[in-house]
Amino acid sequence: MSIDYRLKLLESMEKMRDWLHPSISKISKYGYYYPSACEIFSCAQGEELGHLEFLSQNQYLDRQFFDKVHICPRCLSYQLNFREICPSCHSSNLLLTKQLHHYSCGYVAPETKFRQGLEFKCPKCHEVLRHIGIDYSEPSEVFLCYHCDATSPDSDISCLCFNCENIFDVSCAIKQTLYSYKINVKGVEALERGLVKENVQQFIEIDFPLYNHAMFKEFSQHYFKESKRYGASLQLIQITLENWQEFIDINGVEEGRQLFHDLIIVIKESLRDTDIIGLLDEERVGILLPDTPFTCIDIILDKFHDTINQLNINNRLSINFSCSSYSKEMSQPEELFKQVNQEKTYHFLTNES
């Protein structure tokens, strides 16, 4: 990523002297994009968000809340259909209906079970119900499932992703916060200097999108503070390669390096632009997922498995994933780094056949 474009963006924001708000976009995966920024980076709509966040995380831009978008944890698309589903059979063929309580026989059932033409007739004792308050009452509303006939006071909410057809519980949806941005004093200074400071060295290698440990730590501090301030969820995934030394011994350093690059790139491609992937330390890769509920981690790990499998790694490579969540009892991000090391690991072996 060329730093010049970030300066260009700062320049246009300085001229604007106002908040840059997102506009609705049907083709952006977040459902929003920032037209002027998108034009400067000549990227797909929505991809400019990563650059805006980078400038904000490095304190060149101030930001304020604009909107929250639910996105699919698998493909990151905003095109979700939220449906009420039956807690027993998961069908979405549900009806919210009144319940009737027939006083004389005590029978309680959804209204539809009583209805016969224009009348209400009790399915248990076959008496006709005439007067509400005298013959019967309407104590509550329930969900009636047309598929399995179960009634329940509450429904579950499920999401169907129109983009990848994934079906998941609403608690697994990732909430992407969208902000409005405005240049601040530090941003104006950078513009006058003609330099965005972090161009010194932010990745472990030039043009390879893995943040070095110092940058990763900085991002962790930023998101950790945000979670402390706003109570937003934050997940950290750790990736370690168990038999890496053995792999290098057999296949050589160059092949190992290439494989590591491919691995990071496919993982990076399955993340949002605002997720951060970098070095936790010499041996561990970390991924920070802001605004991400713990419930969607399984879906994210499944997605990693799928993308890594597509790499067709011909040798056995043992990859371990573990995850820990920010909790308000933690006082600094290092606790998150430490905890993730003690969590249960999900083991993944390539070329298992």
Q: Which of residues 6, 51, 74, 272 is near Zn ion by CB under 5 A?
A: 74
Region from 103-111, 185-193, 321-329, 335-343 binding Zn ion, contact rule CB under 5 A: 103-111
CB nearer to Zn ion: pick between 122 and 279: 122
CB 65 within 8 A of CB 177: yes
Q: Which of residues 61, 145, 241, 317 is near Zn ion by CB under 5 A?
A: 145
Region from 79-87, 243-251, 278-286, 298-306 binding Zn ion, contact rule CB under 5 A: 79-87
Q: Which of residues 10, 86, 178, 215 is near Zn ion by CB under 5 A?
A: 86
Count of C-beta atoms within a 10 Å radius of residue 158: 19
Q: What's the DSSP call for residue 167?
A: E
CB 155 within 8 A of CB 88: no
Instruction: Determine if 80 is a binding residue for Zn ion (CB under 5 A).
Output: no
| Residue from 177, 278, 204 nearest 237 by CA | 278
What distances in angstroms separate CA 158 from CA 58, 76, 284, 337, one per listed residue?
A: 37, 16, 35, 32
Instruction: Determine if 164 is a binding residue for Zn ion (CB under 5 A).
Output: yes
Give dist(CA 299, CA 73) in Å, integer: 6
Q: Which of residues 88, 155, 270, 345 is near Zn ion by CB under 5 A?
A: 88
Instruction: Determine if 158 is a binding residue for Zn ion (CB under 5 A).
Output: no
Joined together, the tokens standing for residue 190 give 């950078």
Q: What one-character-per-residue DSSP string does 246-295 give?
A: HHHHHH-HHHHHHHHHHHHHHHHHTS-TT-EEEESSSS-EEEEEET--GG
Q: Which of residues 109, 122, 287, 288 is near Zn ion by CB under 5 A?
A: 122
Question: What minimum distance in Å lies between the beta carbon of 77 and Zn ion?
Answer: 5
Angle between helices 213-230 and 333-342 (to 10 degrees): 100
Instruction: Determine if 250 is a binding residue for Zn ion (CB under 5 A).
Output: no
Give dist(CA 191, CA 100) in Å, integer: 70
Region from 55-63, 80-88, 279-287, 326-334 binding Zn ion, contact rule CB under 5 A: 80-88
Instruction: Determine if 222 is a binding residue for Zn ion (CB under 5 A).
Output: no
Instruction: Determine if 166 is a binding residue for Zn ion (CB under 5 A).
Output: yes
CB nearer to Zn ion: pick between 149 and 205: 149
Task: Please give the residue ranges that form the binding site for Zn ion (CB under 5 A).
Answer: 72, 74-75, 77, 86, 88-89, 91, 102, 105, 107, 122, 124-125, 145, 147-148, 150, 161, 163-164, 166
